[in-house]
Amino acid sequence: MKYAIIGTSWITQAFIDSANTLKDFTLGGVYSRSLSHAVEFASKNNCDYAYDDLTTLAKSGVDAVYIASPNSLHYEQARLFLTHGKHVICEKPAAVWPDQLRELHDLARENGLVFMEAIMMLHQPHLGTVRESLKKLGKIGLARFDFSQYSSRYTAYLGGDLPNIFNPEFAAGCIMDLGIYVVYPALYLFGRPKEIVTRASLLSSGVDAGFTSLFVYEDKQVVLTASKAAESRIGSEILGDRGTMTIGTLFQLSDIGITYLDGKKEPITGGVPRLTLMANEARDFVRYIKRPQESAHELGAAQQLSLDVLETLTEMRRQAGVVFPE
């Protein structure tokens, strides 16, 4: 199987390096807005096909595409490739609006194609173990999920630049970027909340630099925080009346352990290298394509979760006052 890539930043290079560890999934096309850059990036990755025109690439002989462009471009680009019969793995968030995502899911289904949002957490072998281990905590009343990572692009923003990630034109900001990584585990582990309260620190560009959300459930509250303007040092935790689960790196669901009330500790899972995390994600994408019937239920559940997350992010943006241009 051959795949193409859109976007030539570090995350695309990480995806290619991870895909290189798989059998039968090779780079067959590179798109960049600049042809000379596409040629250079392709040649660095032993690929002979470079493009500066997306439609030409969509009509080429590749089977699939990995999209890692700024958020606001995902929907149109994914749509273009799906209508040309290509499977799509798209970086998060896969669309800006829930209706766009529904349309992409429908388009993929009608054409017998795979459309998958790239969320590494969902493709790790220890995912089920983490969810099962929640039972050991007893009655869970509270969880705190955080992803606060100072961005070098915040320094650039403060210096007067407008990097894509702080530009509303690209459907950016912290809720759309890091927020997705705290919302995904909340919905995966606990389902959709009955109430959401969100407040954010808005930048003059119009997007948020960080936010706090309270997800209210029948029997628990989950506090979600994320920031691109500060760095957290304490990770995340889920608190039960028998023990507490600590999560070192939430977006990977890694470095997880339980500390019981008597102080006894039980490790659940350690750290996972990024190459392995992304390779697991790419492996599932290939499996969904090669074994559609067997994996239909799994892909359908992932797509439903993706939609639930996007609807949640949309409500959080609304409450936070983050407005994107049409």
Ligand X SMILES: NC(=O)c1ccc[n+]([C@@H]2O[C@H](COP(=O)([O-])OP(=O)(O)OC[C@H]3O[C@@H](n4cnc5c(N)ncnc54)[C@H](OP(=O)(O)O)[C@@H]3O)[C@@H](O)[C@H]2O)c1
Which residues make up the interface to ligand X (CB under 6 A)?
A: 7-9, 11, 32-33, 37, 68-71, 73, 91-92, 118, 164, 177
Q: Output the smallest distance, CB 217 to ligand X, in A.
A: 27
CA distance 255 to 247: 6
Residue 27's contacts (CB-CB under 8 Å, 6 or more residues apart) are: 2, 3, 4, 5, 16, 19, 42, 45, 46, 47
Nearer to ligand X, 35 or 234 (CB): 35
Nearer to ligand X, 7 or 243 (CB): 7
Q: Output the smallest distance, CB 150 to ligand X, in A.
A: 15
* Tokens, residue 200: 């954010």
Q: Output the smallest distance, CB 90 to ligand X, in A.
A: 8
Q: Output the smallest distance, CB 120 to ligand X, in A.
A: 6
CB 4 within 8 A of CB 62: yes
Q: Output the smallest distance, CB 9 to ligand X, in A.
A: 3
Q: Output the smallest distance, CB 69 to ligand X, in A.
A: 4
258-to-61, 71, 148, 324 alpha-carbon distances in Å:
49, 36, 22, 41
Nearer to ligand X, 13 or 259 (CB): 13
Nearer to ligand X, 137 or 302 (CB): 302
Residues recorded for the chain: 326
33-to-5, 6, 41, 194 alpha-carbon distances in Å:
12, 9, 12, 43
Q: Output the smallest distance, CB 142 to ligand X, in A.
A: 27
Angle among Cα 87, 70, 183 to the nearest 5 degrees reads 80
Tell me the DSSP string of 212-266. Answer: EEEEE-SS-EEEEEEESSS--SS-EEEEESSEEEEEEEGGGTEEEEEEETTS-EE
Q: What would you report as the CA-atom Rg of the chain, rounded to the nearest whole angstrom?
A: 20
Nearer to ligand X, 25 or 251 (CB): 251
CA distance 179 to 162: 20
Nearer to ligand X, 117 or 243 (CB): 117
The helix (H) or strand (E) run that includes residue 5 is strand 2-6
Nearer to ligand X, 89 or 258 (CB): 89
Nearer to ligand X, 41 or 215 (CB): 41
Q: Output the smallest distance, CB 34 to ligand X, in A.
A: 6
